[in-house]
Amino acid sequence: SPVGVPNLNQCELATDTSIIGPPTTLQLNCCLPIPSGSVVDFSFQTYQSAVKRVRMPAHKATADYIAKYTRAYEIMRSLPDHDPRSLSVQSKLHCAFCNGAYKQLGSNSAVVQVHFSWLFLPWHRWYLYFHERILASLLGDPTFSLVFWNWDDQRDGGNTMPAMFLNKGSSLYDQSRNAKHLPPNIVKLVPGSNGATSDIVKQNLNALYQDIVTSTTAETFMGGAFRDGTNVSSSSLATAPLGGSMENGVHNSMHFWTGDPTQPLYQDMGTFLTAARDPIFYAHHSNVDRLWERWLNGMPGGQRALPSDPDFLNAEFYFYDEAGRIVKVFLRDALDNNKLGVSYPDVPADDLWTHFSP
């Protein structure tokens, strides 16, 4: 059967262990606030607004848009730590369902783990959906949309840390990042890749080609089956048995490339515990989400297939909505961005990796 929502009253410390360098284990309280009032069941009727959100590339954002974005995170950061809409709770939501804070209902050992399996892409789409709605509502601007960090773009300037996230003192800044990876350094989608810029570009394109173009099935691209009772309790990326190529490949590379190597777990972006404290996280995941859509609809050879297993479609998750209420969603409702009102523009530079010849 599909994995269900956990009992939020039973929460433990979240844990992660380093996979690079000397083993260090970090524990964090990521227990989620339980607002009074009942859980809302997601429905398109209740949550749909007439607004279409078009997520634009971060490196093309205008000064006006950056000001608005900065303001949105300013407000989010200023909310009290127990407010479900605060950046603090938003980041705990990620930590809680990734590092073992909650057991699956009726299990003593299997934890809720939204990484390392077919849950990964849909869960993160839902996460962005509510995060974006919260920002829009805090700002009082229903048209507000996240940006995407276009790190796969190896031609038009998307493959460096976007300038909008780099101003010290800005709400979009996070001090726990790799200080040696500021622009003009370009991203390395293959960890440790070296050489001239043109070599790194080639390796980046090849990584994208391998992880997205040649990974043709849902199982290889999205990840393996995670059902009620599936136990991948290890929080370590090193043992991600069911993870798909998108997650284990370019997605993970970007987390470690961005995080601070002087921190034992490459915080903030290098561990699930803290990754979502950094506003760049949501832009990173918007790109992951965009590339998922591209994988589905934009590859040579035509449309690819999503899993049709009911244990996939009927998996359940909890999020907070813009009113701070707990909302219960089904995975299946996240499979079409159109229905969620979200879209991405065409990125011509995608062609570089889509048609890469290794």
- Choosing from 116, 130, 256, 272, the catalytic residue is 272
Q: Are the beta carbons of 71 and 174 closer than 8 angstroms?
A: no
The mark string for 86-125 relative to ligand C2O (x by CB under 6 A, - otherwise) is: --------x---x----------------x--------x-
Q: Is residue 277 within the footprint of ligand C2O (CB under 6 A)?
A: no
Instruction: CB nearer to ligand C2O: give 139 or 259.
Output: 259
In the residue annotation, 272 being an active-site residue is answered as: yes
Instruction: CB nearer to ligand C2O: give 55 or 94.
Output: 94
In the residue annotation, 181 being an active-site residue is answered as: no
Q: Is residue 290 within the footprint of ligand C2O (CB under 6 A)?
A: no
Alpha-carbon distance of 212 to 100, in angstroms, equals 29
Total residues interacting with ligand C2O, rule: CB under 6 A: 9
Q: CA quadruple 339, 344, 346, 350: dihedral positive or negative?
A: negative
Q: How far lies 181's CA from each of 45, 81, 260, 321, in Å?
A: 44, 30, 9, 34
- Per-residue tokens: 155: 């031609």
The mark string for 228-257 relative to ligand C2O (x by CB under 6 A, - otherwise) is: -----------------------x---x--
Q: What are the helix (H) ranges across the chain?
A: 44-47, 63-78, 87-96, 120-139, 197-208, 218-222, 245-246, 252-258, 280-297, 310-313, 337-340, 350-354
Instruction: CB nearer to ligand C2O: give 251 or 277.
Output: 251
Rounded to 5°, the CA angle 272-179-280 comes to: 45
What b/e readout covers 13-38, taking b as 16+ CB neighbours within 10 angstroms? ebbbbbeeeeeeebebebbbbeeeee
Instruction: CB nearer to ligand C2O: give 103 or 124.
Output: 124
Q: CA quadruple 8, 93, 207, 294: dihedral positive or negative?
A: positive
Q: Are the beta carbons of 111 and 119 closer than 8 angstroms?
A: no
Instruction: CB nearer to ligand C2O: give 89 or 352.
Output: 89
In the residue annotation, 124 being an active-site residue is answered as: yes
50-89 residues in contact with ligand C2O (CB under 6 A) are none
356 Cβ partners below 8 Å, 6+ apart?
205, 206, 208, 209, 213
Instruction: CB nearer to ligand C2O: give 98 or 147.
Output: 98
Neighbours of 65 (CB within 10 A): 16
- Choosing from 255, 256, 284, 319, the catalytic residue is 255
Least distance from ligand C2O to the Cβ atom of residue 98, Å: 6
The mark string for 192-231 relative to ligand C2O (x by CB under 6 A, - otherwise) is: ----------------------------------------
Q: Is residue 272 within the footprint of ligand C2O (CB under 6 A)?
A: yes
Instruction: CB nearer to ligand C2O: give 124 or 125.
Output: 124
Least distance from ligand C2O to the Cβ atom of residue 132, Å: 16
Least distance from ligand C2O to the Cβ atom of residue 197, Å: 26
What b/e readout covers 169-204, taking b as 16+ CB neighbours within 10 angstroms? ebbbbbebbbeebeeeebbbbbeebeeeeeebbbbb
- Choosing from 115, 148, 165, 317, the catalytic residue is 115
Binding site for ligand C2O (CB under 6 A): 94, 98, 115, 124, 251, 255, 272, 275, 285
- Catalytic residue numbers read 94, 115, 124, 251, 255, 272, 285
